[in-house]
């Protein structure tokens, strides 16, 4: 197998983690879920440095890897190491629906996310409302910067954009052949 250094990016609720788990099951290569790390931290300056360091260490320690998560603030340290970037760009209504659905399921203890930090609790509060607003405005506020960051990737780094379930299935089959 050729070395695979895969980044999976996109808006919350776009399907990144679900795809990353499926890819991990098929390829059996190490996976790093950024949500699992970030949501276990207290989000201060030291946490931000540790978050970056953990990503750098993971990439240095693994010949092949999957990193699941957007986190624009550290994307610049991940992009130079990738040879495949999969960008999930689904309609914002789809992302919002999926986030609300999974939040309700987790709140009712009908679903456990292994890609989320242990002890993470769903709260339907002001922060959650801000999170939903972030998703609603993601395309306008975040995509231009992500596009600019992706322009820095190496010529050998393949960018694949997924916009629907059919493309997701096709891509999963293509990568895991």
pLDDT tens per residue, range 114-163: 778 777 787 889 999 999 999 999 999 999 999 999 999 988 999 999 99
pLDDT tens per residue, range 49-108: 999 999 999 999 999 999 999 999 999 999 999 999 999 999 999 999 999 999 998 888
Question: What ranges do the domains of the chain cover?
Answer: 5-175
Crossing angle for the helix pair 138-150 and 126-136, to the nearest 10 degrees: 60
Query: Which of 123, 90, 128, 87 has its CA nearest to residue 106?
Result: 123
Q: What does CATH list as the number for 5-175?
A: 3.40.50.300
Rounded CA gap, 156 and 171, in Å? 18
Rounded CA gap, 157 and 21, in Å? 21
| Predicted local distance difference test score (pLDDT) of residue 106 | 85
Instruction: Decide if 33 contacts 110 (C-beta within 8 A).
Output: no
* Torsions phi, psi for 4 (to 5 deg): -125, 120
Q: CA 33, 145, 164: angle at the middle one, nearest 5?
A: 60
């Amino acid at each position: 197998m050729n070395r695979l250094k895969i980044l999976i990016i996109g808006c919350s609720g776009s399907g990144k983690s679900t795809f990353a788990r499926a890819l991990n099951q098929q390829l059996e290569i190490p996976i790093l879920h950024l949500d699992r790390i970030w949501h276990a931290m207290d989000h201060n300056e030291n946490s931000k440095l540790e978050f970056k360091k953990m990503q750098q260490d993971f990439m240095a320690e693994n010949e092949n890897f999957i990193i699941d998560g957007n986190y624009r603030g550290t994307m610049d340290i991940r992009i130079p190491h990738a040879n495949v970037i999969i960008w999930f760009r689904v309609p914002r209504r789809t992302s919002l629906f999926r986030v609300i659905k999974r939040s309700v399921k987790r709140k009712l203890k009908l679903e456990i996310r292994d890609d989320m930090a242990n002890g993470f609790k769903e709260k339907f509060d002001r922060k959650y409302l801000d999170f939903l607003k972030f998703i609603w405005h993601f395309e306008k506020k975040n995509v231009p910067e992500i596009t600019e960051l992706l322009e820095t990737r190496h010529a050998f780094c393949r960018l694949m954009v997924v916009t629907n379930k059919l493309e997701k299935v096709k891509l999963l089959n293509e990568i895991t052949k």
